[in-house]
Amino acid sequence: MSALLLALLLSQAAEPVAEPVAGPVPESDLPRAARDTADVGPAGRWSAGFFNPTRLAIADSFELEFHPILFFVAPNLVGRFALSKEAVRVTIEAGLLVPTFGMRLTKGYLFPTWATSANDIGWMVIPRIGVLISGNVRKHDVWTLRADYAGRVLLGRNSATPLESFLAPLDLLMAAPTTGFLGGFGGAYDAAITQRLRLRAAVNFYVSGAANQNLYVDGNNLGPLAPRDPFIITTHVGLDVAVFKHSRITIGMLWGNYDQGATAIVLDKDGFAERVRGRSNNFLPTLDYIWAGGFGD
């Protein structure tokens, strides 16, 4: 509600989207760029959030992306290469994640300690590839389609099982490391409402390896784990509020729908109970502050 009030206040106070005028317009006078699109560069452009990844354009068509907070416990790096920078932009992404050490830091909480055996979270790398396609609808509105796939390459014995938590983002984050793969596709629309406000809506569909997992103890397969519905749906609606020259605050809400193992009790015609499985919903607030630079103004 506070986000809506803030949005309303800012949209009334702010100027309309700037129309093109003769001569170059400083980028700080334009609406903030749409986020998480196929757009890459130009060289020297960077952005970093508390929670959002850091992006640094090495060249006009190539940028690097990583999460600095996790980098030292889960080394990660993604390269983004623009194949096309025409009206419809196409970018491919390829990256690597080594999550083992970070996962091991959560032993005792999210994973077993395995205090009396040699079982452990195995060393692994998670390569990921993805493609993004973006285009403009109005001057500053951007649509984006994306698809990606991450798979696990085990480098030794692994006893970690799927997390099966109650938080969709955490389960997505751990899906490839614990179920073997995560594939997804989705779309987003990022609209410039005013010069200082952007509204972004996205929907994503994922499939993980949760349906076919086995329990490994001391290297032995002890049989299947309970199968889970591997399909996950998320939607996110977020509002970006421009602050200072190039930075922004983002606030939003994520909805996730997937199988968290929940059951409900239903009664038959005679009043007797039956337990039935169902999918669960997550509604999670999102918030970040994103710095940006390298605009040259």
Partner 1 sequence: MPIPRAAHPAPSWFLLLALTLPALGCEWVANDLTFEREAIPIYREHERSQVPTVSPTRLKVMAWNVKYGACRVDFWFDFWGDRTQLSSTEVSDCLTGVAKLIEEYNPDILMTSEIEVNSRRSAYVDMVRFILEHTPLRFAAYGQTWDSRYVANEGLGRIDLGNAIFSRYPIVKAERIRQVDRTDQSVIIKTFYIHRAITRVELDLGSDRRVAAYAVHTEAYDFDGTKQKQIDQIYKLATEEAKVMPFVLGGDFNELPPVCDERADAGTPESCEGKLQLKDFPDERASSKGTSYEQPPYTPSVMKKFYDDFSPSITLARYGVGTAAQRPYFSHSVLGPDSVNDQGQPGYWNRTLDYLFIRKNEGWENTDVIQVPGRLGVTADALRLSDHAPTAGTWVLP
Return the range that interacts with partner 1 (CB under 8 A); candidates 1-9, 13-21, 81-89, 280-288.
280-288
Q: Is 275 in the site for partner 1 (CB under 8 A)?
A: yes
Place of tokens 């179920």: 179
Going by C-alpha positions, the residue among 172, 175, 182, 80 that lies closest to residue 132 is 80
Q: Least Å distance between CB 136 and partner 1?
A: 19
* Residue 2 token pair: 């506070």
Phi, psi of 176 (to 5 degrees): -65, -45
Q: Least Å distance between CB 223 and partner 1?
A: 3
Return the range that interacts with partner 1 (CB under 8 A); candidates 22-30, 38-46, 135-143, 184-192.
184-192
**End-to-end Cα distance, the chain:** 35
Residues 116-145 within binding reach of partner 1 (CB under 8 A): 116-117, 119, 126, 128, 130
Q: Is 224 in the site for partner 1 (CB under 8 A)?
A: yes
Q: Least Å distance between CB 296 and partner 1?
A: 25
Q: Least Å distance between CB 16 and partner 1?
A: 26
Residues 4-63 within binding reach of partner 1 (CB under 8 A): 35-36, 49-53
Cα–Cα distance, 156 to 212 (Å, whole number): 20
- Of 40, 175, 193, 242, which lies in the binding site for partner 1, with binding defined by CB under 8 A? 175
Calculate the alpha carbon distances from 122 to 32, 74, 108, 171 in Å. Answer: 42, 13, 16, 18
Calculate the alpha carbon distances from 241 to 26, 227, 236 in Å. Answer: 18, 42, 16
Q: Is 113 in the site for partner 1 (CB under 8 A)?
A: yes
Sign of CA dihedral 223, 226, 230, 235: negative
- Of 16, 154, 170, 219, which lies in the binding site for partner 1, with binding defined by CB under 8 A? 170
Q: Which is nearer to partner 1, 12 or 116 (CB)?
A: 116
Phi, psi of 170 (to 5 degrees): -70, -40
- Of 86, 115, 138, 269, which lies in the binding site for partner 1, with binding defined by CB under 8 A? 115
- The amino acid that residue 23 corresponds to is G
Return the range that interacts with partner 1 (CB under 8 A); candidates 7-15, 17-25, 191-199, 268-276.
268-276
